[in-house]
A and B are shown apart, each in its own frame.
Chain A
Amino acid sequence: MPVKTISYEELIPGYEFPPATYELSASLVSKYLKAVDSAGDGFVPPLAITACAIAAMTGSLSLPSGTIVIHASQELEFFKLVPIGDTIECHTGVAQKITRGKMSMLILELEVFDKGKEKVQSGRATIALPT
């Protein structure tokens, strides 16, 4: 089923992107570890989980062609180890939408839960979209 997208103009503070579920399979983790040039340690790297949550957001957001997206800041908190093979559910939303001159900024929040509904990670990202 195609992912329902929302345009940047439609985003308002409080908007929640559709939750997304990911199975953190050995192949997905291996692909991530290769990309970040790391050996790994038998658990899912917490930033691989963050990458899933960010992908859940960006996959649901429709931006005008040619829009540059710049990651300005990131806050993260990890709550538990996630074994390879676990399934996570990513919840993401818009905390603030700010326009300053030719710069638009989105402050996005994320929360990730495991299959037992325990929180494994939360975070906040500031994304700049120069216009």
Chain B
Amino acid sequence: MLTEIQEGKALNSVVKHITQEKINLYAEASGDFNPIHIDESFAAKTPLGGTIAHGMLNLAYVSEMMTSAFGRSWLSEGKLRAKFKEPARPGDTLTIDGKISCVEQKDDVSYANCNFECRNQKGEMIVTGETIVKLSSDKE
């Protein structure tokens, strides 16, 4: 967990290697068996040229970074907005970075606004977005 909540503070990065096995596991766990994720011969014939990871798998890594930084505050009162820019593919290594963009006070409650980016090993942006975490209430 972060011990210091202040503007500009970087969150601990999360690094994950994507494999077809992990994508298949996610398909099993989520029930999303769209062939673009799991059928390599089908996916090879599409404009994407091969299988891609589920967007929600990439977001799970973002959530892991947020949980590591904010613990239960994230799990119970987090907000997230994400845009999927490019697909993550088997063989990619994803690095999820985030930082606190500002800390706001609204009605005696503090909120940490964070920006995050998920890039592959080539530096290509895979997912980008913002999160908001309720930190505490002065009345609590």
Q: Is the CB of A78 within 8 A of B22?
A: no
Q: A35-B25, A68-B46 in contact; A75/B63 too (CB < 8 A)?
A: no
CB closest residue in chain A, given B79: A77
Q: Is the CB of A35 within 8 A of B57?
A: yes
Choice from A37, A54, A72, A79 contacting B32 with Cβ under 8 Å: A54
In the bound complex, how far is the Cα of B52 from the Cα of A69, in angstroms?
11
Q: Is the CB of B31 within 8 A of A45?
A: no
In the bound complex, how far is the Cα of B60 from the Cα of A45, in angstroms?
9
> Which of B74-92 touch A at CB < 8 Å?
74-84, 87
Size category, A interface: 35 or more
For residue B113, CB closer than 8 A to chain A, the reply is no
Q: Is the CB of A37 within 8 A of B22?
A: yes
Expressed in whole angstroms, the minimum distance between the Cβ of A66 and any Cβ of chain B is: 7
For residue B99, CB closer than 8 A to chain A, the reply is no
Expressed in whole angstroms, the minimum distance between the Cβ of B17 and any Cβ of chain A is: 9
Expressed in whole angstroms, the minimum distance between the Cβ of A126 and any Cβ of chain B is: 9
Q: Is the CB of B81 within 8 A of A75?
A: yes
Q: Is the CB of B78 within 8 A of A46?
A: yes
Q: Is the CB of A79 within 8 A of B77?
A: yes
Count contacts between A and B, CB distance < 8 Å.
111
Q: Is the CB of A71 within 8 A of B76?
A: no
Specify which of B25, B60, B77, B78 lies most central, judged by the most chain A CB atoms within 10 Å of its CB.
B60
Choice from A34, A77, A79 contacting B29 with Cβ under 8 Å: A34
19 A-B residue contacts at CB 8 Å? A31-B25, A32-B30, A43-B72, A45-B63, A51-B29, A51-B32, A51-B56, A55-B31, A58-B34, A68-B36, A73-B82, A73-B83, A73-B84, A75-B81, A76-B79, A78-B74, A79-B76, A80-B77, A81-B75
* A34-B29, A41-B67, A58-B31 known, 18 other contacts, Cβ within 8 Å: A32-B30, A36-B26, A38-B60, A38-B64, A45-B63, A45-B67, A46-B78, A66-B35, A66-B42, A68-B46, A70-B84, A71-B84, A73-B81, A76-B80, A77-B78, A78-B75, A78-B77, A78-B78
